[in-house]
Every structure is written in structure tokens, then in C-alpha cells.
A and B are shown apart, each in its own frame.
Chain A
Amino acid sequence: MALTDKDIKKLSHLAKINIDSKDEKIVLSKLEGIIKLIDTMQQVDTNNIEPMSHALDITQPLREDVVTEENQKNDFLKLGPESNEDYFIVPRVVE
């Protein structure tokens, strides 16, 4: 499946990665190379085959509903790129 400039813009938007317009061509050509590689899967007939999400056939373990985490707010806020004494700060979110 051939990629277009529009696809690159959409991917950039979805993945929230800015792609400089001067780099668009090279990004496009490298992605096309990869997509050509993965397109070799299309030759395989996969009718009636169960998709496999996990290597092992096991099920989800459950955790007891007991508080194990302590308040480390001050340490964690300090690791934020921008924070005040209560919140992580980001540019205003417009709804």
C-alpha cells in the first residue's frame, strides 16, 4: 500500500511527532521501504487462524485490593518538567 504526504501528516498528528516539511520526503521513503517489507505477509493465507497476542497460554493474575503505595507526591512533582507544589503544569487545555 503506497503512502502519501497526507498519510505522513495524519501519522504525525496521531503520534504527536512533528515532522519538518523538509524531512517529509525522506521519512516517507523510509517508511515505504518498511511497509514494503511488512507487505510480504500478505501472501499468507491466515483464514481460520487465531491471532496470538501472548507467547504463553496463561491468564491474568489478580491482585488483592490492598493499598501498597505511599504518597510520594513531592518527589514525583519534582521530576516533572514543570510543576508547582500540587500539580504538573501544562499549557492551558482548550476543550
Chain B
Amino acid sequence: MSWDIVIGIETHVQLTTQTKIFSGASTAFGMPANENACLVSLAYPGTLPVLNKEAVKKAIKFGLAVNADIAEYSVFARKNYFYPDLPKGYQISQFELPVVNNGFLTIGDNKKIRILRAHLEEDAGKSVHGILNNQTGIDLNRAGTPLLEIVTEPDMSSAQEAIAYAKKLHNLVQWIGVCDGNMQEGSFRCDVNVSVKPSGSEKLGTRREIKNLNSFRNMEQAINYEVNWQIEQLEDGNEIIQSTVLFNPDTGETKAMRSKEEANDYRYFPDPDLLPLKINQEDIDDIKSSLGELPEASIKKLIEDFKLNNADASIITSNKQTYEFFQSLISEGLDPKITANWIVVNLFAKLNDNELSIEESPINKNQFVLLIRRIMDKTISNNAAKKIFDLLWEDSHADVDQSIEVLGLKQVSDSSTILPFVQEVIANNQAMVEQFKSGKDKAFNALVGQVMKLSKGKANPGQVSEILKDELNKA
């Protein structure tokens, strides 16, 4: 029997604001416990929430970036439950009327993943276990950090699609500047709903929600494990019970959380301390005009205007910093294809090896520009450029031109220097010359190689080909 996989994703995105969603306490990450826990964060008697303008702006920004409807009126509600890191005994969230509705993202070959809604809410604090035996410490620094919860329809049908969506979303929220995207610090948290059903069946299976996924690798592993587990259960005649499961990165397995005695009854109702949030078309237009170019448009531009291939274009738009770096290089008059190639092949390889982001690259823009310019003006060969690149990586103060000189990597393009090498090679390799004349193209490449070798790699290969061709015709 074959099975369809059905996946929906809920992502909690921490919005990059200076202060919490309902108070003027700092949201700075990594502070000592409870230093960002203000009166409101602690739910002191008499304290009241006041909504952060920036959080609203960023929610709208996201909505516009996924082609969604921005609600003219949205409402904050209370989700009531007791937990020590939830200081008020309720979480302020949006329930019936969220701020963002009906958007989408496209993945892969133009597959639409529908975004049902995105709503503003507050983050909870943190419970720190094992402070002492049988005790938990409560740190309320994170309590009240603004979150945008982004909920998709169950539109993904494989782990690959889920990862593609999550990566696309991850890129987008950073691109438009609403989230720092740091998964390790919990700024971008995905909960994945997985169910399976017999192929072609209309009826959705029972879903389980996987939590605790703090990397795309974990997400992929968890989904694959979960899918196999569910199929196995169903094939063994067992039923799937709707539940929340945790992924254990050490074992690669998912495991249901201890089920609560009773189903939760959150008793949502509109928060009487907060009024309906009204968003004017004017504000939406303002934000729209500041949105800038989105990744989709950037890819299109790279392919159509700069003639890059799809793969390179995707990599260059995989984050905004890379794209901006690329653009700044092009604006210096560099060749787009050579530049793209250098970013994708050489720069990214080095950055990945060293686990660095593009902003952390030791090679500065000016060096990079000069390096590519020297390739373009044929001063150095591509191979020689790689040597310079390695040198620059190690020594960020190195001068490109000086290094070319010092290392003697300057390409020889002067025909009067190259001609004697060509003549020598022709003289010494008559057998190959014969093969070339009898139509074997391979022989020509071998001859070029010989010339290059003789020039100690400095000869301009293009120049060599031309002269060699002329000489062979004469011979």
C-alpha cells in the first residue's frame, strides 16, 4: 500500500524589536536571568499591556511579503492556562481575528504553499530545570517577546517540501528584516504537523505535531522518522492518536509527550485590557513602499537581467546579505557571470568550511572587486586568482596587485613571449600535431597543456589557443 504524506507548519518567529510586545522592557538576548523581567513581564497586580508599534509594523510587513490580506481590524485574545513561565496565567495572542490572513509562498517548481494566517502574540519565559533537586528556576526575560506565529495549510507532501518551505520562510523573514533567524537562540521555531493517509484518499489522517526542531537538519530527520513511524503503525493496524511529540536529536527519534489528564480548554476570549487593533490603508501603503525588492523578484532579475542560471541565482538570493554583496560588486562594473561564479563556487565553499556568514568574511569588498577585475582584464588566470583568494583569506591586509607580483602569477598575454613556447611544443610533439591534423581535437587540448606547462602556467590560455591554432595551420 502506498501512502500520501501531509505536512503543515506553524512557525514562531521572534520579531526584531527593541522592546517587548506589551511593555518597554528590553528584548536583548543572552542577558542574565530575569534582568529583562519588568513589572508587566512579571504580571504584577495592576499592570496593563500596551502594544508595541514596531511589532505591528513587522507583522504587516510580513503579511505584505507573502501576498496576504492585512486585517483592518484584528483582536487580541487571552489563552488561559497555568504554567510557571506564563506569568499572567494567560498568553495574549490573536485567535478569531488575526492580523494577517491568506498569503502564500512558492517553493521548488512553483508550488504554492498557502499561509492560512499569521498572528501576533507574546512569548513565554523559560523554565530552567535541575537548578536543585526537584526544583525548576523561572527566568522571565523572554516573557513578552513579540512573536508572529505563521500557520500554513497542510500543503506540503514530503520532508523535502517542508524543508524547502521552512528555508524559504527563514530567508524571507530575515530578508525583510522582521526576524534575526537565529534558530539556535529560538528566534525561528518550527512546529511540524505530520499525518499520512492512503494514497489518493480524501480524508486526512490523524496528525501529530513535532516540536523542538532547532535546525533544518533536525526537521528533515524528524519528519522522515515520524512519517515512517506513522506508516508502520497504520500498517500494523494501530491507530494514530493526536498528540504532541518531541524530537530527540541524539536518537533521531520522535516521542509523544506525556499526555495531559484532560484535554486543554484554553477559554479564549477577547482581552479586555486591549482594544481592537485598527490598521489603516495608509499605514499599509507606507510599509509596502518600504518593503523593497523581495527574494522572488531578485531571482528573476538575476536570471533575466544578468543571465545567471537558476541554481546560481537561487544561491545568491539565499540571503539578503549575499544578494546585496553581489549587487555592490556588479555596480563596480564587474561581469555578473564571473562574479556569481566566484561567489557561489569559491566564496561560499570557504564560508561554509569555516561556518561563517557572508558578513563575517575576512575578505573585504574592495579586495574582491580587484581580484575579479584582474580576472576580467586577463592579468591573472582563474587558477591564479584562486591562489590569491586563499592568500587574502589568510591575510586580510594583503594587497591583490602586490600579491600577483610577488607570487609571479601575472598572466603572459604578449604573443612575442608566447610564440617561442608554441613553436617549441610543436617541434617537440610531432606525433600529437599529426593526430590533430587527422582530426583529433583532443590532441589540440594536450598541446595547449604543454604550452601552459612550459610557461609555468603564466600564459594566457586564450592567447595560447589562438597562437597555437595559427602555428598549426602554418605547419
Contact surface of A with B, Cβ cutoff 8 Å? 10, 13-14, 16, 53-54, 58-69, 71-73, 76-77, 84, 86-95
A90–B84 contact, CB under 8 A?
yes
B residues near A, CB below 8 A? 17-19, 23-26, 32-40, 42, 50-56, 73, 75-76, 82-84, 127-129, 131-132, 134-140, 257-258, 261-262, 265, 267, 270, 272, 274-278
With beta carbons under 8 angstroms apart, the residue of A13, A65, A67, A88 that contacts B137 is A88
B270 touches A10 (CB 8 A): no
Residues of the A chain whose Cβ atoms lie less than 8 Å from the Cβ of B55: 65
Contact between B19 and A86 (Cβ–Cβ < 8 Å)?
A: no
B35 touches A90 (CB 8 A): no
A86 vs B52: C-alpha distance when bound (angstroms): 27
A89 touches B137 (CB 8 A): yes
Task: Write out the residue numbers on chain A whose beta carbons fall within 8 Å of the beta carbon of B73.
Answer: 59
Q: Could you tell me if B52 and A87 are in contact, using CB atoms closer than 8 angstroms?
A: no
Q: Residues of B contacting A14 with CB < 8 Å?
A: 265, 267
Q: Among the listed B39, B53, B76, B138, which residue makes an inter-chain contact with A89, where contact means beta carbons less than 8 Å apart?
A: B138
Q: With A and B bound together, what is the CA distance between A95 and B128 in angstroms?
A: 12
Bound complex: CA of A94 vs CA of B26, how far in Å? 30
Residues A65 and B25 in contact, CB atoms below 8 Å apart: no
* In the bound complex, CA of A66 to CA of B363 (Å): 36
Q: Is the CB of B257 within 8 A of A87?
A: no
By a CB distance below 8 angstroms, the chain A residues around B25 are 67, 69
The answer to whether B50 and A59 have CB atoms under 8 Å apart is no
Contact partner of A66 (CB less than 8 A), chosen from B24, B33, B76, B131, is B24
A93 near B24 with CB under 8 A, answer no
Verify B56–A62 contact, CB threshold 8 A. yes
**Central interface residue in A10, A13, A66, A67, by most chain B CB within 10 Å:** A67
Q: Indicate which residue in A16, A65, A86 contacts B33 across the interface (CB closer than 8 Å).
A: A86
Q: Which among A16, A59, A67 is the interface contact of B276 at CB below 8 angstroms? A: A59
Residue in A16, A53, A62, A76 whose CB lies within 8 Å of B34: A76
- Cβ contact within 8 Å between B262 and A10: yes
Q: Can you offer 11 A-B residue contacts whose CB atoms are under 8 A?
A: A54-B275, A59-B278, A60-B274, A67-B18, A89-B131, A90-B135, A90-B136, A92-B135, A92-B136, A93-B129, A93-B136
What's the Cα separation between A69 and B16 when bound, in Å? 18
Report A-chain residues with C-beta under 8 Å of the C-beta of B257. Answer: 95
Complex Cα spacing A67 to B134, Å: 36
In the complex, the chain A residue whose C-beta lies closest to that of B125 is: A88
Closest CB of chain A to B406's CB: distance in Å?
Answer: 52
Across the interface, do B277 and A60 meet the contact criterion of CB distance under 8 Å?
Answer: yes
Q: Which residues of the partner chain A approach B51 to less than 8 Å between Cβ atoms?
A: 60-63
Give min CB distance, A60 to chain B, whole Å. Answer: 4
Q: A51 to chain B: closest CB distance in Å? A: 8
